[in-house]
Chains A and B, each alone.
Chain A
Amino acid sequence: MTRKQKRLSIILGALAFVGTATGLTFYALGQKTSYFYMPADLTTASIAPGQRIRLGGLVEDGSIVRGQGTRVSFGVSDGGGKVEVVYDGLLPDLFREGQGVVTEGTFGADGTFVADSVLAKHDENYMPKEVADSLKAQGVWQEN
């Protein structure tokens, strides 16, 4: 092979490689990302059972119910709607009533949301960004 052909073959090889990686990336973006919803959005959006989403809002006052062992259920609301969430595991340190929270999981057949992770961050004033933005947009929550 001449110098030029060699260089061309290397470039073509690299392009094929990068192309594969790009394809994989877009496939993964389509399959492996989860959209964020507030309870109020759910009245209009249709979400298939089994589809992973992130659900955010405020933990409703008086809604935390401890079940058998480590099971816990609570309501997530945003003024416009309310969703019952079931979770089995350890809740984060800053999980409290009235606190902003983001949960990730899927809807069960009976309409309850089965979360496999509950996020609350490391600050007492912390409000997850998505939750704060949505609440502000609805006028439910003002920054102090």
Chain B
Amino acid sequence: MVETGHFALVLAFALALVQFFLPLVGSRTGDARLMATAGPVAVTGFAMTAISFAALTSAYVLSDFSVLNVFENSHSQKPLLYKFSGTWGNHEGSMLLWVLILTFFGALVAAFGRNLPATLRANVLSIQGLIGSAFFLFILATSNPFARLNPAPIEGQDLNPVLQDVGLAIHPPLLYLGYVGFSVCFSFAVAALIEGRIDAAWARWVRPWTLAAWVFLTGGIAMGSFWAYYELGWGGFWFWDPVENASFMPWLAGTALLHSAIVMEKRSALKIWTILLAILTFSLSLLGTFLVRSGVLTSVHAFATDPTRGVFILAILTLFIGGALALFAWRAQSLAPGGIFHPISREGALVLNNLFLSTAVATVLVGTLYPLALEAVTGEKISVGAPFFDLTFGPLMVPLLIAVPFGPLLAWKRADLWAASQRLAFAAGGALLVILFVALFIDRASVFAALGIGLAAWMILGALTDLALKSGIGSVSPGVALRRLAGLPRSAFGTSLAHLGLGLTTLGVVSVTSLQTEHILTMKPGDTVEVSGYQLRFDGLQPFQGQNFTEDRGLFPLLDSDGDVLTTIMSAKRFYPARQMPTTEAGISTRGLSQMYVSLGDPVDGGGIVVRIWWKPFVTLIWLGSVVMMGGGILSLLDRRLRVGAPARRAKKARAATGATG
């Protein structure tokens, strides 16, 4: 089975080379048969990669410790779920997942791209094949997951305990679906440059892929943030860690791409910029892969410390980013310029969005790479952390977030800003009331907190205003409005929902950063502490034996102001004997949209224990907002008008209905 997996991987590499070569030659020489090989080869390549991945997974599930990779990262006593997820909880396995998803997207293009012009489809799949070849070669040459170990040990070394979590089982696949999904946009951009032709239809084809990748990446980042929040026990949701930034940069660029592709599709403008963004977005994904996988960063994600891997990925990075940008510099001038528009217009708003987002990407990029560059040049070690990003990223986001509700209300080509402002009067009034309310009635609230929460309210109300205006709520009878609302195109809902989700996430971030309360104290059994109107009692520690760990569970009954027990929060210190490693399991109780978060520290003399308690107002909105954003993306994706090939299918149906011949 293991050798089958290795063999399938080699075959997949060969197929990727074929997928790169034949269709490209076909499109250059106009040979339709060569171009037609792209689809079947892409699908077969995906099947081979899937077989290879299945082989590795089965080695994990069966605890086959004759495989080096399984020995190093698994243990026979590990719960079954983590035997599955352990497949990608290490360098080799996660790279295999990377190419699996890459070939999956290639197969999707082959399957759903039947209505693409033949040369474009051939070129797109060819570029996908080239990316695939590079990564297959990387895996086979430097990170073979199927290497054997002889003699086979009896027991494995286990997966890092902090990775033994449901969140981490789902997180990497979601993240990679996003990361790697942008490869399709990249391939489309490079294919368009090769052909030297680009039009609104190109944007129409690229947009669903961008949307899909964006939805997955949003989910992956939110999931990663949620995991760090509840599993690492330090109560934070975002650390500006280089590894987090590695996925955040493609998200920012992908968000910009999503918006500029709209301008290109509707108005044929911003063509060259959109192509460049498509290239940059995937380049940032590649850069992320390099940062995480090369070992230049030390983090829980950077398993690899082998310098040859770093050099190899750096070479891939240089080849693709350098190659694509060179092609861009050479061919971009030959693309026909797009339409012109007034600065105050929907296009103008989207350009503003792109300007802010791409500058934000640049600041995050500088903050992430500057310490590496400085150390390489001068040997000085510095850390660029939250204070840097708060100072640079924050000021860039605030004006962008203020502008968000205006965008959908502005007309294409030339808009009336004053009219749009009048329509947003209700949202602005609501936001002002929220600011006043927070400033006057919430204890401990600073001016900053009030303004931030007001900004979030402005975005949420603005998104709702947009929907209300489109359906005519308030100006027509409720029945008509409801029917109009139901009849709105799904993409209109998608926009409002995505902006609404952004508002909710902002609300969560601002509330928790400016209004959370923290208590650090030592508690003995029977002690009670008051936190935000609740009473938290400590009932002592209880030992517990898990499947592959032991733990001391601290029991904390949560009482309301009347002294009734609402729930018992359990916070634990765990110990994994296989790795001799302790972990902290935070105890979290959700009260409405807020949470009580209890983390255990070390025991102190006299039977007490250090306890850290946070009250986190509206913290759940950070992730709920992301889910709403994803919902918006999915709705847009389901919009019939955006579906690739929908018009063609309708035309076919129409032809069939009229019984046309030929």
A and B from one assembly? Answer: yes
Interface residues of A (CB under 8 A from B): 3, 6, 9-10, 14, 17-18, 21, 24-25, 27-29, 31-36, 54, 66, 69-70, 88-91, 93-94, 104, 121-124, 128-130, 133
Q: Which of A33, A104, A128, A129 is the one whose CB lies under 8 Å from B388?
A: A33
Q: Is the CB of B520 within 8 A of A90?
A: yes
Are B298 and A129 in contact (CB-based, < 8 A)? yes
Residues of A within 8 A of B602 (CB): 66, 90-91
Q: For residue B520, which residues in chain A have a CB less than 8 angstroms away from its CB? A: 70, 88-90
Contact A3 B384 (CB under 8 A): no
The answer to whether A3 touches B340 (Cβ under 8 A) is yes
Interface residues of B in 18-59 (CB under 8 A from A): none
In the assembled complex, the Cα of A18 lies from the Cα of B363 at a distance in Å of 10
- Min CB gap A24→B, angstroms: 6
Task: Give 12 A-B contacts (CB < 8 Å), ordered by A residue.
Answer: A14-B355, A18-B362, A31-B391, A70-B521, A70-B610, A89-B520, A89-B612, A90-B602, A94-B582, A123-B160, A123-B300, A124-B579
Residue of B at shortest CB range from A37? B381
Cα distance A91–B601 in the bound complex, in angstroms: 7
- Contact between B355 and A17, CB atoms less than 8 A apart: yes
Complex alpha-carbon distance, A66 and B599, angstroms = 19
Number of interface residues of B (CB under 8 A): 47
Are A18 and B359 in contact, with the CB atoms below 8 A?
A: yes
Cβ A122 vs Cβ B381 within 8 A: no
Known: A33-B382, A69-B521, A70-B521. A24 touches B300 (CB 8 A): no
Listed in ascending order, the chain B residues whose CB lies under 8 Å from chain A are 160, 162, 232-233, 298-300, 340, 343, 351, 355, 359, 362-363, 366-367, 370-371, 380-385, 387-388, 391-392, 395-396, 520-522, 573, 579-584, 599, 601-602, 604-605, 610, 612
Q: Which of B380, B388, B522, B604 contacts A28 (CB 8 A)?
A: B388
Knowing that A24-B363, A66-B604 are A-B contacts, what are 9 other residue pairs whose CB atoms are under 8 Å apart, sorted by A's residue number?
A17-B359, A29-B388, A31-B391, A36-B381, A69-B521, A70-B521, A89-B612, A91-B602, A133-B381
Q: Is the CB of B584 within 8 A of A124?
A: no
Contacts of A3 in B (CB 8 A): 340
Least CB separation from A134: chain B residue: B381
Q: Which of B160, B298, B384, B521 contacts A29 (CB 8 A)?
A: B384
CA distance A12 to B381 in the complex (A): 37
Q: Which residues of B contact A88 (CB under 8 A)?
A: 520
Are B343's CB and A28's CB within 8 A? no
Are B582 and A93 within 8 A (Cβ)? yes
Is A6 within 8 A of B366, CB to CB? no
**Are B580 and A32 closer than 8 Å at their CB atoms?**
no
Please tell me if the beta carbons of B383 and A122 are within 8 angstroms of each other in the complex. no
How far is it, in angstroms, between the C-alpha of A6 and the C-alpha of B355 when the chains are bound? 17
B383: chain A residues within 8 A (beta carbon): 33-34, 36, 54, 104
Assuming the contacts A29-B370, A32-B384, A129-B298, asked whether A10 and B343 have C-beta atoms less than 8 A apart, the reply is: yes
Q: How far is B381's CA from A129's CA once the two chains are assembled, in angstroms?
A: 10
- Bound complex: CA A87 to CA B367 (Å): 27
* Complex contacts, A93 vs chain B, CB 8 Å: 233, 573, 581-584
Tell me, rounded to whole Å, the shortest Cβ–Cβ distance linking B520 to chain A.
5
Q: Is A122 touching B605 in the complex (CB atoms < 8 A)? A: no
A9 to B362, CA, bound (A): 22
For B366, what are the chain A residues with a Cβ–Cβ distance below 8 Å? 25, 29
Neighbouring A residues of B371 by C-beta, 8 Å: 33
Residues of B within 8 A of A33 (CB): 371, 382-385, 388
A28→B381 contact, CB < 8 A: no
- Decide if A90 touches B522 in the complex (CB within 8 Å): no
**Chain B hits for A90, CB < 8 A:** 520, 599, 601-602, 610, 612
- Interface of A: prevailing SS: mixed
Residue of A nearest to B388 (CB): A32
A54 closest partner in B (C-beta): B383
**In the complex, what residues of B have CB within 8 A of residue A10's CB?**
343, 351
* Cross-chain contact A35 with B380 (CB below 8 angstroms): yes
Indicate if the CB atoms of A32 and B160 lie closer than 8 Å.
no
Q: Which residues of A contact B362 (CB under 8 A)?
A: 18, 21, 25
> Chain B residues with Cβ under 8 A from A14's Cβ?
355
Contact across chains for A35 and B359 when beta carbons are under 8 A apart: no
A102 to chain B, nearest CB (A): 9
Contact between chains at A70 and B601 (CB < 8 Å): yes
Chain A residues with CB under 8 A of B380:
35-36
Q: Check A124 against B581 for contact (C-beta < 8 Å).
A: yes
> How far, in Å, is A144 (CB) from chain B's closest CB?
13
Chain B CB within 10 A, most for which of A17, A29, A54, A121: A29
Measured in the bound complex, the distance between the Cα atoms of B362 and A18 in whole Å is: 10
Min distance, Cβ A43 to any Cβ of chain B, angstroms = 17
- Complex Cα–Cα for A59 and B371 (A): 25
Pairs A-B, 3 closest by C-beta atoms? A36-B381, A129-B298, A90-B601
**Within 8 Å CB of A130, what residues of B?**
381
Q: With the chains together, A24 CA to B388 CA distance in Å?
A: 10
What are the residues of chain B within 8 A of A6 when measuring CB–CB? Answer: 340, 343
User: Residue on A with the closest CB to B580?
Assistant: A124
Say whether A28 contacts B612, CB under 8 Å: no
Q: Which residues of A contact B370 (CB under 8 A)?
A: 29
Complex: A106 Cα to B542 Cα, angstroms: 39
The docked-state distance in angstroms from the alpha carbon of A27 to that of B167 is 38
Contact assessment for B605 and A66 in the assembled complex, using a CB-CB cutoff below 8 Å: yes
Using Cβ atoms and an 8 Å threshold, which residues of chain A touch B581? 93-94, 123-124
Of the residues B162, B521, B522, B573, contact of A122 by C-beta under 8 Å: B162
Residues on A with C-beta less than 8 A from B387 are: 28, 31-32
Chain A residue with the shortest CB-CB distance to B371: A33
Give Cα A54–Cα B388 distance, bound, in whole angstroms: 15
Q: Write the nearest CB–CB distance from A109 to chain B, whole angstroms.
A: 23
Closest to B341 in A: A6
Give chain A nearest CB distance to B324 CB in angstroms. Answer: 22
Max count, chain B CB within 10 A of own CB: residue among A27, A89, A122, A130? A122
Residue from B343, B363, B383 whose CB has the most chain A CB atoms within 10 Å: B383
In the bound complex, residues from chain B placing their C-beta under 8 Å from that of A91 are 601-602
In Å, the complex CA distance between A17 and B625 comes to: 29
A32–B385 alpha-carbon span in the complex (Å): 8
For residue B362, give the distance in angstroms from its CB to the closest CB of chain A.
Answer: 7
**Least CB distance, B538 to chain A, in whole angstroms:** 15
Whether B396 lies near A21 (C-beta < 8 A) is yes
Residue of B nearest to A121 (CB): B300
| Chain A, Cβ-Cβ closest to B382 | A33
Residues of B contacting A129 in the complex (Cβ-Cβ under 8 angstroms):
298
Instruction: Return chain A residues, CB-CB under 8 Å to B343.
Output: 6, 9-10
- Most central of B363, B382, B605 by chain A CB within 10 Å: B382
